[in-house]
Amino acid sequence: MATVAAISATYRPRRPETTVLHQLVREHLETFVAHAREQYDKPLPRYVVDTFRSFLKCGVLAHGFSVTD
């Protein structure tokens, strides 16, 4: 089993908020949702909007974290 010092020395945060995709979704998600609501006969499925919002939180430590083996 690795020691805590060895694990922490190799950990590098992902920083997803610096990626182009994250920026694009962050800046345009609400506009897209509003456009879809106004233009389409049916609203976007809830899971689509939830998935985009979850994507914006994923990997951002301010939203918590989970440890897996």
Tell me the pTM.
0.69
Q: Give the number of domains in the chain.
A: 1
Residue 46 confidence (pLDDT) above 60: yes
Is 3 a member of any domain?
A: no
pLDDT of amino acid 56: 92
Is 57 a member of any domain?
A: yes
**Angstrom distance (rounded) from CA 25 to CA 12:** 23
Is 56 a member of any domain?
A: yes
How confident is the model over 8-29, as pLDDT tens digits? 567 777 788 899 999 999 999 9
**Angstrom distance (rounded) from CA 41 to CA 32:** 15
Is 2 a member of any domain?
A: no
Give the domain extent around 22. Answer: 14-63
